[in-house]
Structure 1
Amino acid sequence: MSQIVTTFAEISNQYDVAFVDLWGCVHNGITAYPDAVAALQGYRAAGGNVVLVTNSPRPWDSVAKQIAEMGAPDDCWDAIATSGDSARAAMFRGIVGEKVYFMGETPRDDDFFKPLSIIKNPVNIQKVPLDQAEGIVCCGPFDTQADVDVNRADFLYAKSKGLKLLCANPDIIVDRGETREWCAGALAALYTEMGGESLYFGKPHPPIYDLARRRYAALSGSMSDPRIIAIGDGIRTDVLGGQQEDIDTLFITGGLSAAETKTAEQPDQDALDAYIASEMVTPTYSIGFLR
């Protein structure tokens, strides 16, 4: 059973650092949640550190600019780890070759191909048509509203050529305001289902947690073995990822799983119990919204 809490402050003094999800937790894709921002500011004021850990396919500095425009100021976080940065590092090391077929939104995802200074002797990445590609780089669908099955023909061809798909965002869906959208993870799941090989770098997979720990270690006064809590609204990303890393989790039930957990202000205990039993993932703590 997951313990329901009313505020993050009830438990926050047990942790040195919080790995905090963004979409559905700190913002809704359009605007920041004031209560969430205040909770993180309060945690930092009490001595805690906040590493925003997001499955955004963008570089961390692009995410910082984006969330500031939404109303999440830089005094509510200390560092940012993105699946985009983790995936970009792998791409520039040549994990899917030099000639890549790019799936994503232009120009929104163009920053994914910006040079990455931490990689020595990066490969010369070239975006090419699918029939010339050595691999696929997927930041998301071309159309976030279209059924992912529209990609089956291309994926069948790619699989026949043995192309690997680099997934820069393992999320399946997100809610932008009141609109639900497909993410890169849905495409990667389809490619895997069809027999292709997908490579993941965001939550719940290990590379992004390694990056988050390194971002935390770079902070002044950080500890070598910190007490960490992962916070987010994705039961199969934020919560599962935290469990696999052996760290405590705070599940934000009012995000993607609001209907399943019958969350108004707080989750219904019976509905929450039934949901986490069905998912076979049990968060340490649960709360309706980050506050």
Structure 2
Amino acid sequence: MVNSSNSPLVSVVMPVYNRDRYLAVAIESVLIQTYTNFELIVWDDGSSDRSLEIANRYAQKDSRIRVIAAPHQGFAVSLKKAFAAAKGTYIGQLDSDDALDFRALELTVQVLESQSQVGMVYTNYWDLSPGGQVQGLGNRCQIPYSKDRLLIDFMIFHFRLMRRRVYEEVGGIREAFDGIVDYDLCLRLSEITEICHLNQPLYYYRRHPNNITSTQQLEVALLSQRAIQEALVRRGLSDRYQLRVEVQARYFIDQKLTDACAAPTTLQQSDSTPNEERDRTFYSHAA
């Protein structure tokens, strides 16, 4: 068993709800970090699959992992409570279906340790297929950071590491913005501290049909509208600017499942079948 410091400098929080297919990959990507003074908080939000069992198995082997089992309350509440449980001076989030590059903590900690005026640092990220194949740099990586442009483009994606004191100064997670809590938080952080973009891909973002952004698009658009409008008011811009929102609909025709056709395509069938050995290979992809 690995011995850990009683006061880790970094806390990585991971809310989990029914992610047993991906969870081992996510946890292992934290355990292989070149920076080791961290704790990993796995907050299980009442999972009904094997997620809690998997998390506990890893916690028994590494004392830097803390598993907290809670009743199902939703993502925003889980994330807020996980951050509240964190002991670190610096705090970051890893989604339970994603993974970190092995240098993510080392390189982001270096920024915060060397630049006291920076309250948050964020990195570029790789897009992954559901099965874990790297598909290229994420589109948001191409957007330069700007406090003003953040009002219409959420370029502060993953991985983010922030100082606990600035997180607390802006009031932390706001549960009413469930689905876009990270965007709302980053808007508020940008108004009180410097944010640094580390131009290296150090996060693996897995795209699959159950992503929040895929399943709740209309709700995300409405909540984003509210967050931006509130930001305009806080920044004293609401007298000069008004927000206009356009929501684009996309339509797809999928083949119906029948007894003679078990799945629409062979590729989709393969991607929906768990394969832990295949899924565990991607985070060693060379930058």
Question: Highest relative contact order (Cα 8 Å, sep 6+), 1 or 2?
Answer: 1
Q: What TM-score do the two structures reach when normalised by structure 1? A: 0.25
Q: What TM-score do the two structures reach when normalised by structure 2? A: 0.26
